[in-house]
Each structure stands twice: as C-alpha cells, then as structure tokens.
Amino acid sequence: MGYETAKTQITLDATLDWYNYRDNDDVPVGQRKADEFDFTGYTGLFNLVTLPVERLQLLLNDQFISTRDQGQSDRFSNAVDRTEYVINRFEVGGFYDLTERFTAGLRYNHQMLDYVPDFREDSYINRGLADLIYNLSRTSLLDLNYQYWHTSYSKISPDYVSNQVRLDYRQEFSRLEISLGAGYHHRNFDSQTKEDQEIPIFLVDIGWHNPADPVGKPVTFAALTWERNLNELGYLTWYHKSHRVDLTAGHIFMERIPVQITGIYLTADYDDFIGPTPAGALDRRYDETHKLSLRAGYIITHWITFFVEGGIDRRNSNLAGFDYNNDLFKLGFESAFNFGAK
C-alpha cells in the first residue's frame, strides 16, 4: 500500500507467514516434536522518501520481523537452529547533491534483536553510514561508503566496534545491472581474550531481466551475488570470515506459471572455535553450507499464487557433530493484495 506525490513517496507493506509442522515418524524419547516449532511469523515495512527542498532527499524506514530464520538477522549466519526472535531495524538519514556530479549521504541505523526464549542473548547495533557519490553518467557512479557501528549483547558475549570502508562501482544497462566493490573491515572487541578481526572485503553483484510486464514484474530474470565479509552476530567468540554466493534465476511461463531456482553457497572460517574432528584431532572449525531449491507456482489471480517447492540444505563441517542435512518440501499459496489499488 502506498501514497505518492510529486515530492513524497510513502510505502507500507505487511506480510503474514504461518508455519505448521508434523512428524512423519515416532519421535524418540528426549527429542522435540515437530509441532513445537509451529509459529506465525510476520514482516512489517514502512518507508518514507521526500524531497523537502531542491537537491535534498530525506528518508525514513522501519522494518519489523518475527521469524525463526536465523539468516534474517545476519546475512553470513550459518546457524541452523529454529529459535524464534523479533528483529527491528530503523533507519533515518538523507542525501544532498553538492554539485551536478557529487552527492553526499549521511544515515543512522538502529537494530534490536530480541529472542523469545531467553536462553540466547539479545543484541543491539547502532550504526552510522556516510556516502560520497560521484556520478560518472546517468547510468554509472562511484560510491565511497564508510560505516561505523557498535554491537552490544545482553549477557556475557563481548561487545565490539566495527569500522568498514568500501568503494563501489555501479553501472546500469537496459537489461543488466552491475555492481563491483572492494574495501576493508576492522573489528575491535571489548575483551582482553578476544583478538581483533580485520579482513579485505569485496562484492560482485550482477542482475539481468527482460522488459517488465504491465504489473512491473520481469518475465525472465537472473541474479548473481558474491560477497566476502565477517559475520555480525557471533555470540561468545563464534565469529568467522565468510564467502557467500547467491544465484537466482526464474521465468514466468504462459503468463501463469512462475518457476524459480535458487542456490546459496556459504563458507564459515572460524577464528577461535576449536573442537575435535571425526578422527579425534583438535582443529579450528570450518563449515561449508550448500542450499538449492526449485519452486513452481500457478497465478490464480493477480493477488494469489499457489506454489510447490522442493530443496536441500547441507552443512559440512570439519568438526564432529556439526554436519547438518535437511530436505525441504513446501506446498502452499501466497497472497499479496494492494489495498491502495483502484
């Protein structure tokens, strides 16, 4: 749902997700039943962009999520537990055109993560972001981005301060968008036993789509993202360096049948997590996670789609007891109704 004038755009979006599980076999004594993970999740999004005066763009957005998906809290997380939590991200800031070529941006972001079971630590992140953008042309630019943030925990995990700088190059074509970035990330922990982390970082982001259909959705699309960085929420000393690769491609057949394939590859190279290997030796933990899913649907109306999805989720670790296998099958429908439409 949205509201738009010549200088202001307001968007309000809400999503409700209902999850119900059941066991196909008898549950062994001491293990949790599947229906204990039943829950109703939701996502709320508010976004405001306005141009109060010439050259100045102000923005405000707020995102509220209730979920069991640990990846919603940290892009580089390789956690597989289903602990329920609520996360709120609030951001305010703006961009000012210094000249026809140069634009400066300044933003503040606050993130609060609250676990419903209290045995895991809540966390709070206060982040400042600054951008200096040079517009090479109408379709290309250079963006020098600096971020400073402080992460604190509610219990015993050490707080930390991160400084990150990255230079991005972005280029748009009629059907292709490319973004390339490289920089450096340094993290300082408030702990005498935890050493600082520092790592060169990079981003490769490529997207392709065919011309949009009348409702604004591409009929065919593909996207590839490859990113190198540190995970944000490590708890205790469980921090790692990561590569993450995302590949997505899709097509709408006969205007009614959307098909999409998604693949994710994630590495986790831990600094301080040491444990026994299957052979009995001690080693630093290193995980590789592979996810692959195929989804097909049928568009019943413009606001409801029936879908079926199957996939696999594999985490392979060099330490004993950290491998994880999950086979996924979903059957359901999606509903997206625009109350603001006429």
Stronger pLDDT, 81 or 230, i.e. the higher one: 230
Q: How far apart are CA 308 and CA 304, in angstroms?
A: 14
Q: Indicate whether 163 pLDDT > 70.
A: yes
Q: Which domain holds residue 217?
A: 2-335
Q: Indicate whether 340 pLDDT > 70.
A: no
- Beta-bridge partner residues of 138: none
Q: Indicate whether 341 pLDDT > 60.
A: no
Q: How far apart are CA 143 and CA 159, in angstroms?
A: 29
Task: Give the per-residue pLDDT at 342.
Answer: 47
Task: Give the per-residue pLDDT at 23.
Answer: 62
C-beta of residue 281 within 8 angstroms of C-beta of residue 288: no
Q: Which of 340, 332, 339 is nearest to 20 (CA)?
A: 332
Task: Give the per-residue pLDDT at 16.
Answer: 80
Q: For residue 342, is it within any domain?
A: no
Model confidence at 216, pLDDT cuts 50, 70, 90, reads low
- Beta-bridge partner residues of 287: 268, 317
14-62 pLDDT, tens digit per residue, is 888 777 766 666 767 766 676 677 778 889 999 999 999 999 999 999 9
Q: How many domains does the chain have?
A: 1
Q: How far apart are CA 289 and CA 115, in angstroms?
A: 24
Task: Give the per-residue pLDDT at 292.
Answer: 97
Q: For residue 25, is it within any domain?
A: yes
Q: How far apart are CA 285 and CA 291, in angstroms?
A: 20
Task: Say if residue 279 is exposed, middle or buried (CB neighbours under 10 Å; 0-12, 13-18, 19+).
Answer: exposed
Q: For residue 316, is it within any domain?
A: yes
Q: For residue 340, is it within any domain?
A: no
Task: Give the per-residue pLDDT at 338.
Answer: 56
Residue 223's CATH number: 2.40.160
242-269 pLDDT, tens digit per residue, is 999 999 999 999 989 999 999 999 999 9
Quote the pTM value.
0.89
C-beta of residue 230 within 8 angstroms of C-beta of residue 185: yes
Q: Which of 1-10, 86-95, 267-276 has the weakest average pLDDT?
A: 1-10
Model confidence at 279, pLDDT cuts 50, 70, 90, reads very high
Task: Give the per-residue pLDDT at 214.
Answer: 47
Q: For residue 341, is it within any domain?
A: no
Task: Give the per-residue pLDDT at 17.
Answer: 77
72-92 pLDDT, tens digit per residue, is 889 999 888 888 899 999 999
Q: For residue 286, is it within any domain?
A: yes
165-185 pLDDT, tens digit per residue, is 999 999 999 899 999 999 999
Looking at this protein, which amino acid is placed at residue 170?
R
Q: For residue 263, is it within any domain?
A: yes
Q: For residue 195, is it within any domain?
A: yes
308-322 pLDDT, tens digit per residue, is 999 999 999 999 999
3-class DSSP state for residue 35? helix
